[in-house]
Structure 1
Amino acid sequence: MDNEVRLALAAFTDRYCEAWRKKAGTGPQSEALYGVPSPCIITTRGETVEWQPQPFSSFATLEAVERALDIRLQPSAHAFYASQLAGDMPARFSDLSLTLLQAWSEDDFQRVQENLIGHLVMQKRLKLSPTLFLATLEDEMEVISLCNLTGEVVRERVGTKQKSVLSPDLAAFLQALEPDV
């Protein structure tokens, strides 16, 4: 399953980059990432960076998250977070607009792990089932997450038991995403 996730993420990222090339004649661009170091940066124009995804230069996993919480994470979570460095990517899943989260650099990957630990600790305190966020929505109190118990992709209201299943697994979710550039 984790290889399916890596392939599905790479395929979506390719679709995203191609949509940018068709729209703007360049790779993806971001003002928000201007001035933030990353091996993904191709060029800087004004206060905008053009980027392309890059593989991790070292073997990366979410083992630090697992150790911190004494939990085993879904293999698909490792595949999603540790297979590439890239900018966050706006996308659509059916009629839902979202921003797929990615690590921008290896330093950013450390921050992502810290945020995942914080998210999981909050869920444990509230006696909620463990999830790992994958994407943000316009309503900042809602996120798209991977359920660590079932492997399903869910839309959840942060800090509550409100969840709805969007996809039976992460690979299927990524395959259904459409770039929103």
Structure 2
Amino acid sequence: MNASQSNLINVLQQFHHRYFQSYQQQHHQPPTVEYDSDWPSPCEQGGASNGETVHWHPVPCAPPLDFANIEQALELELHPDIKTYFGSFFCANLAAEASDGKLELLFPWSQKDFERLQENMLGHIWMKRKLRQQETVFFAVTDIDDVILSMVNSTGEIWAEKVGKKPHRKIAGSMTEFITSLEPVV
């Protein structure tokens, strides 16, 4: 692991910590999600029945999740920061606020969810290629219809883009810079 990847992991851990502190201060308990037996996760803390809520906490992936299959299928090496972002933690999606508005950071909830995420990444990149646009990898949704946040695979820059369109507004120079700028929304 290089220094950039290690720094991004630290920034993600700090954001998780700030999110949990804010959540506990406001709700006087750890975050909860609705339990779904079809989507179990190592993040879940305690047992529940379908429809009930369960407390959860991010869980480091050891070893990190592997992207070799998607890279082979695409004949493309994914940017190391996107692999670190998606491959380091199982976590529920986290609401946040940037200077431009509210968003939701996407994370794999489980190994099964990671596989679904990879399928969506494949579809997104194939769509970009078909449209002859630069390859991006989405990692967040915004409160604006059809606007997602993506990383430009070749540069690591963070951009806003409408689904199916070229990125239209640069948000940050790197994933680390972007995550550092966020405030948790609980």
Shorter-chain TM-score: what band? over 0.9
Query: What residue in structure 2 maps to residue 111 of structure 1?
Result: 116
Q: Could you say what secondary structure the match of 1:68 adopts?
A: helix
Comparing 52-61 and 39-48, the one that deviates more: 39-48
- Of 21, 41, 46, 2:44 maps to 41
Residue identity (%)? 32
Which consecutive unaligned segments of at least 5 residues does structure 1 have?
A: none
Length-normalised TM-score, structure 2: 0.91
- Of 6, 13, 18, 2:9 maps to 6
Query: What residue in structure 2 maps to residue 22 of structure 1?
Result: 25
Q: Could you say what secondary structure the match of 1:160 adopts?
A: coil
Q: Distance in 2 between matches of 1:135 and 1:154?
A: 11
1:149, CA displacement in angstroms? 1.6
Q: Could you say what secondary structure the match of 1:120 adopts?
A: helix
Q: Distance in 1 between matches of 2:111 and 2:62?
A: 8
User: CA offsets, 1:132-168, max 9 Å, x none?
Assistant: 1110112341101111121111111111124211001
In the comparison of the two structures, how many residue pairs are matched?
A: 180
Q: Distance in 1 between matches of 2:66 and 2:10?
A: 17
Q: Distance in 1 between matches of 2:166 and 2:93?
A: 26
Query: What residue in structure 1 maps to residue 96 of structure 2?
Result: 91
1:52, CA displacement in angstroms? 0.2
User: CA offsets, 1:101-124, max 9 Å, x none?
Assistant: 000011111111111011100111
Greater relative contact order structure (CA < 8 Å, 6+ sep): 1
- List structure 1 segments (4+ residues) > 6 angstroms apart after TM superposition: none
Query: What residue in structure 1 maps to residue 57 of structure 2?
Result: 52
Which consecutive unaligned segments of at least 5 residues does structure 2 have?
A: none
Q: Do 1:134 and 1:146's aligned partners in 2 also have CA atoms closer than 8 Å? A: yes
